[in-house]
Structure 1
Amino acid sequence: MAESLLTSSALFPVSEQRVDSPSFPLSSNIKRQVQRFWQKSPCDSWFTNEPRGTVAFYRSLDEHRYKVHPRLQSAIGFEKTRGLRVLEIGCGCGSEAERFVRAGAYYTAVDLTNAALSITRRRFQLANLKGRFVQGDAENLPFPDGSFDFVYSHGVLHHTPDTPRAIREVHRVLSPGGRAVVMLYYRDSFNYYVNLGIVRRLRAYLLRTALGIKLSRAIFGETEQDLRRHAELIRGDPGSYVEMQNLLNRNTDGPDNPLSQVFSRASAQRMFWQFKSLKTEIMFWNPNWLPGIGKVLPRSVEDRLASHWGWHLWIYAQKRHREFTGLNEIPYQSISLSTARRQFLPRLSSTEMAGGVRTTSTVG
């Protein structure tokens, strides 16, 4: 496997180049469930019938991914990562990983599962690309402070129990001035309030019968296997299934998905308070959310729906070039110089003031 690793030991110490077994604590039962689920089903791997690990497998996945997410590549800005140390948290099947390396980035993947790392490593071998693959926990990233210039994570950090902690880890491993691009599920979306909160809740009653399963397959486009699993879960505990958190878990990434979370723009701002700048954008509309008409809508209409009520909250953040000393635990807010003096400078007596005490103001 040595040919699949970057050769610069200054950038990537040998001891960190490859970790195939977890050397980190899984601090909760839910996190172990998350690991088991994604170990069995690496993200996107279910979208193709091509043999896993073949050129056709990766080509098929990429064609599907960038058809469903047409703005994904431009949102990331691969061309701006040339020469940068890039960390991807949750690599899936390596679609973005390959594009980072082809753009000239020094690439590292960290994933909770060995399955995703193995699939992405195999992609790199087939394409003769170089990268680093580390198994680790997003809430306890196994890298020193300031190790990366760019951190990317698409649809991953809403599956870890303590997402705010994971965001703090993103900030920690970024170098001063480094950038992060993170996608999380969006709470204030059509999918959350209408599709999950109303349609999927009503569908739970439909799935109790064989006829209901057939109708659901025709309407929602899900596989019969998934629908039968939903039906099994409903029969086991119908009251629990229709609770909003369980509807969210079961109807986002598969019926056995143990954990998904949703976030608003305001909650994203709170989680990213340590960063210098923050921009958010809403993307992604699934035609299946509007059975019957969703698949015939013009792209312009779909884009408009996505920008207002889409499912993906994209967050673009930049770390400060210089941190405020002593204020790391205080959420960043814009304040006036007079307010800063009152709150953060020591109170001086009239004698000290007369003595000509000099103060220095540093802007990060």
Structure 2
Amino acid sequence: MDGQGFGFLSGNINTAKMKQRLNWMKKIENIDTTIKPELTAEIKKFWERNINAERIYGRTISDSKRGEDKYFTDLEEQRYRTHYHLLPWIRDMKPGKRVLEIGCGIGLDSFKIASHGMDLYAIDLTQVGIKTVKERFLRKEVPAHFNVGDACNLPFPNAVFDYVYSFGVLHHVADTKKSVSEVFRVLKPSGEARIMLYHRRSLNETIHHLTRVPFEEKDELCPVVRRYTKTEVRKLFADFSKVDIDVQYVFGEGYGAIYRAMPKWLYRMLSKTVGWHLMIRATKD
């Protein structure tokens, strides 16, 4: 896909690339969820080479050098304009509480969380993500704690966080079920997990499944991508005492003219039913 819409509509996808994508779709639909060191290593290498939020549908978001102030400004404008539901989700957390962010990447959400007055601890699987976010926080003199870490084996003791936050990460890890159990373990009693997972019964999923075109235009494709129904999410979070699921974000700018022309009221209505993001709030007893 390109920034104006689906590549298959414009005839821009060659046969070799389409074959690669078909093989990739089969791979992610039949993924072996057993934790294997080589799978985690493959995932890490992918995200080291493909920094999340820097590109969308083949388009580079910022022409500034990684780490510069304008680089972050450009990426944040793009992220929070299209992910309209994200900032209210962050700002609804109670300031002063200790929060763990899993999969912070270059730290766009991290900066919003810390600026909201949270005691932030964050991990990412990649060295490049941690290096980039640390440099920004040091330059801006914003206190926080960052380390390389694996969502399936969190480097923290039991029951130490008031919140665990992870947006669009746990469906890409080697074992999503194990990562959710780790979230439960590190949460304090009455603590809350705020997790976004992809929605299987979404318009986005349906279109991509029918066309067999992956969700991003990349030279290489993510080793693990999982999607869930609401029922599957409740089973995944069965250890939690309360699980609320809000559906959001029917699709983004990869749909080009359709995204820009659709009335906002219709976009929001569709997002609530067939949106791509399952916004999960799970409370621990």
Q: So what's the TM-score if we normalise by structure 2?
A: 0.81
Counting only pairs closer than 5 Å after superposition, residues 292-307 of structure 1 correspond to structure 2 as 292-307=257-272
1:183 maps to which of 190, 196, 209: 196
Say if 1:179 and 1:317, in contact at 8 Å, map to a contact too: yes
Give the deviation of 1:105 after TM superposition. 0.9
Say if 2:159 and 2:188, in contact at 8 Å, map to a contact too: yes
Q: Deviations over 1:203-231 (max 9, x none)?
A: xxxxxxxxxxxxxxxxxxxxxxxxxxxxx
Q: What amino acid is aligned across from residue 142 of structure 2 in structure 1?
A: L
1:34 maps to which of 29, 36, 43: 43
Q: 1:289 to 1:124 in 2, by over 3 A?
A: closer
- 2:162 match: 149
Q: 1:136 to 1:168 in 2, by over 3 A?
A: same
Tell me, yes or no, if structure 1 residue 117 matches structure 2 residue 126.
no
Counting only pairs closer than 5 Å after superposition, residues 1-364 of structure 1 correspond to structure 2 as 27-46=36-55, 47-76=61-90, 78-194=91-207, 196-199=208-211, 201=212, 250-252=214-216, 254=218, 255-287=220-252, 292-320=257-285
Instruction: Tell me the distance in 2 between the aligned counterparts of 1:165 and 1:84.
Output: 25
How many residue pairs get matched? 245
Choose between structure 1 and 2: higher strand proportion: 2
Q: Which is further off, 114-123 or 149-158? A: 114-123
Q: Which runs of 5+ in 1 are unaligned?
A: 1-25, 202-246, 321-364
Q: 1:189 to 1:256 in 2, by over 3 A?
A: same
Instruction: Tell me the distance in 2 between the aligned counterparts of 1:72 and 1:262.
Output: 19
Instruction: Tell me the distance in 2 between the aligned counterparts of 1:82 and 1:104.
Output: 5
Q: Which runs of 5+ in 2 are unaligned?
A: 1-34, 56-60
Q: Percent identity?
A: 31
Secondary structure of the equivalent of 1:293? helix
Instruction: Tell me the distance in 1 between the aligned counterparts of 2:254 and 2:114.
Output: 35
Secondary structure of the equivalent of 1:51? coil
Instruction: Tell me the distance in 2 between the aligned counterparts of 1:314 and 1:252.
Output: 21
Q: Deviations over 1:217-275 (max 9, x none)?
A: xxxxxxxxxxxxxxxxxxxxxxxxxxxxxx5xx43474422111111111110111111
Q: Hey, which bits of structure 1, 4+ residues long, moved more than 3 A?
A: 252-255, 287-294
Instruction: Tell me the distance in 2 between the aligned counterparts of 1:193 and 1:317.
Output: 27
Larger Rg: 1
**Larger RCO, structures 1/2 (Cα 8 Å, 6+ apart):** 2
Q: What amino acid is aligned across from residue 31 of structure 1 in structure 2?
A: T
Q: What amino acid is aligned across from residue 198 of structure 1 in structure 2?
A: L
Q: Deviations over 1:266-324 (max 9, x none)?
A: 1110111111111001111225565653320111111111111111111101110xxxx
Instruction: Tell me the distance in 2 between the aligned counterparts of 1:180 and 1:28.
Output: 26
Q: So what's the TM-score if we normalise by structure 1?
A: 0.64
Q: What amino acid is aligned across from residue 275 of structure 1 in structure 2?
A: F
Q: 1:286 to 1:27 in 2, by over 3 A?
A: same
Instruction: Tell me the distance in 2 between the aligned counterparts of 1:72 and 1:291.
Output: 21
Instruction: Tell me the distance in 2 between the aligned counterparts of 1:292 and 1:81.
Output: 38
Say if 1:180 and 1:317, in contact at 8 Å, map to a contact too: yes
Q: 1:252 to 1:266 in 2, by over 3 A?
A: farther
Say if 1:181 and 1:315, in contact at 8 Å, map to a contact too: yes
Q: What amino acid is aligned across from residue 251 of structure 1 in structure 2?
A: F
Say if 2:192 and 2:282, in contact at 8 Å, map to a contact too: yes
Q: 1:134 to 1:290 in 2, by over 3 A?
A: closer
